[in-house]
Amino acid sequence: MRSMSLLREITPKLKGFCVSAQDTGLHRCAGQIMAEIEQGLEKHYKEVLSVSSADSHRMGLKPITFTRQVLAACFYPSLLNDESIPLDARERAQRILGECEGGSIGSYTAERGIKKIQASICKFITKRDGVVSDPENIYITNGSQASLIIVLKLLVQSEGSLKTGVLTPVPSHSTFSMAVAAQGGLVVPYYLREEQGWAVQLEELRRALHTARGQCNPTMLYVINPGSPTGHVQSKDSIAEVIRFAAEERLFLMVDEGHQDNVYGKGIEFYSYRRVLYEMGPPFSSTVELASFNSISKSVIGECGLRGGYLELVNLDPLVIPYIYRFISMNFLFLMFCKAALRQCSLL
């Protein structure tokens, strides 16, 4: 009896969302194939690899030794004097511990992360884009999904006459759509098509936006570049086109750039939205609001289990910043932000 009353109490936002048909269909199909293999059915392959979560360690990628050595020495400082660990790894661990309260990885860190690690992220972004990145815009998080949820929590309105609509690529990873629904927003799909090389098409963005108006208030555009799961890498011109569209339609750009080192193919180069935005100059460079996400889960590090990443906010109204601080210092988000030092160490 008690559990029935509890069930009634569960928030409708949570009850309302479901795992995408695409995901459940894929898992069902994989399960069926594996059962058939076990029963001895003849196939021209012997196993099914589950790559849908893009977890490269699960698929056998070996961890980068240096990262693990630094982490090991941070966790067990006696290793700082152990010559079986290379000097550069020990020195890095020493520098990290020097930045931790009480010299221990076990202490809480500042809301936006360990300052030195924030500075190191800025150095990386500045070198990548050729435009100086400000540490004040960097928020270290527990991975891209946590960063996305933070931005959604901040901007999605679920009350009032019209819900916030978030333009979302299809196909993409289903956790994002679930996160939008869980915040009470509405997913507005825009379709990427294989016959168009999975490229983002401006006409399709326009179609999605105009269809959504009236049903919701579309104010956010989510882009994944390089695409996941498509692998498509947007050209500089395509990015500029999307930025112009966001400016015209006053959309907040959420750009998931976690796969930026997963770029293969002759002559293909990754351009960050931030870089293109600054290269476009005013008024775009000073007005278009952008959140860029990066993570240690992807590319060569592939440390999904460590849960680490950062969020960079560009051109946010300064009046909004105090609300972000208020928001991240609220207890329920304590875990979402950077309290665990472990995952930050691999970002240095």
Q: For residue 297, state whether it binds ligand PLP (rule: CB under 6 A).
A: yes
Q: For residue 145, state whether it binds ligand PLP (rule: CB under 6 A).
A: yes
Site string (37-76) toward ligand PLP, x via CB under 6 A: ----------------xx----------------------
Taking the complex as a whole, the smallest distance from the CB of residue 142 to ligand PLP amounts, in Å, to: 8
Taking the complex as a whole, the smallest distance from the CB of residue 175 to ligand PLP amounts, in Å, to: 7
Taking the complex as a whole, the smallest distance from the CB of residue 335 to ligand PLP amounts, in Å, to: 14
Taking the complex as a whole, the smallest distance from the CB of residue 258 to ligand PLP amounts, in Å, to: 4
Indicate the length of the chain as a whole number.
348
Taking the complex as a whole, the smallest distance from the CB of residue 270 to ligand PLP amounts, in Å, to: 13
Interface with ligand PLP by CB under 6 A: which range of 115-123, 141-149, 206-214, 273-281?
A: 141-149
Taking the complex as a whole, the smallest distance from the CB of residue 307 to ligand PLP amounts, in Å, to: 7
Q: For residue 165, state whether it binds ligand PLP (rule: CB under 6 A).
A: no
Q: For residue 224, state whether it binds ligand PLP (rule: CB under 6 A).
A: yes
Interface with ligand PLP by CB under 6 A: which range of 30-38, 39-47, 96-104, 138-146?
A: 138-146
Rounded Cα distance, 153 and 164, in Å: 11
Interface with ligand PLP by CB under 6 A: which range of 142-150, 231-239, 242-250, 318-326?
A: 142-150
SS3 readout for the chain: CHHHHHHHHCCHHHHHCCCCHHHHHHHHHHHHHHHHHHCCCCCCCCCCCCCCCCCCCCCCCCCCHHHHHHHHHHHCHHHHHCCCCCHHHHHHHHHHHHHCHHHCCCCCCCCCCCHHHHHHHHHHHHHHHCCCCCHHHEEEECCHHHHHHHHHHHHCCCCCCCCEEEEEEECCCHHHHHHHHHCCCEEEEEECCHHHCCCCCHHHHHHHHHHHECCEEEEEEEEECCCCCCCCCCCHHHHHHHHHHHHHHCCEEEEECCCCCCCCCCCCCCCCHHHHHHHHCCCHHHHCCEEEEEECCCCCCCCHHHCCEEEEEECCCCCCHHHHHHHHCCHHHCCCCCCCCHHHHCCC
Q: For residue 256, state whether it binds ligand PLP (rule: CB under 6 A).
A: yes
Which of 145/164 has CB closer to ligand PLP? 145
Which of 198/284 has CB closer to ligand PLP? 198
Rounded Cα distance, 324 and 312, in Å: 13
**What pairing do the DSSP bridges indicate for beta strands 252-256 and 290-295?**
parallel
Interface with ligand PLP by CB under 6 A: which range of 29-37, 81-89, 118-126, 139-147?
A: 139-147
Q: For residue 234, state whether it binds ligand PLP (rule: CB under 6 A).
A: no
Q: For residue 178, state whether it binds ligand PLP (rule: CB under 6 A).
A: no
Q: For residue 295, state whether it binds ligand PLP (rule: CB under 6 A).
A: yes
Segment 299 to 338, residues that bind ligand PLP, using CB under 6 A = 304, 309
Among 169, 184, 185, 258, binds ligand PLP (CB under 6 A): 258
Site string (73-92) toward ligand PLP, x via CB under 6 A: --------------------
Q: For residue 228, state whether it binds ligand PLP (rule: CB under 6 A).
A: yes
Residue 260 Rama label (left phi>0; alpha psi -120 to 50; beta): alpha
Q: Which residues bind ligand PLP (CB under 6 A)?
A: 53-54, 143-145, 173, 224, 228, 256, 258, 295, 297, 304, 309
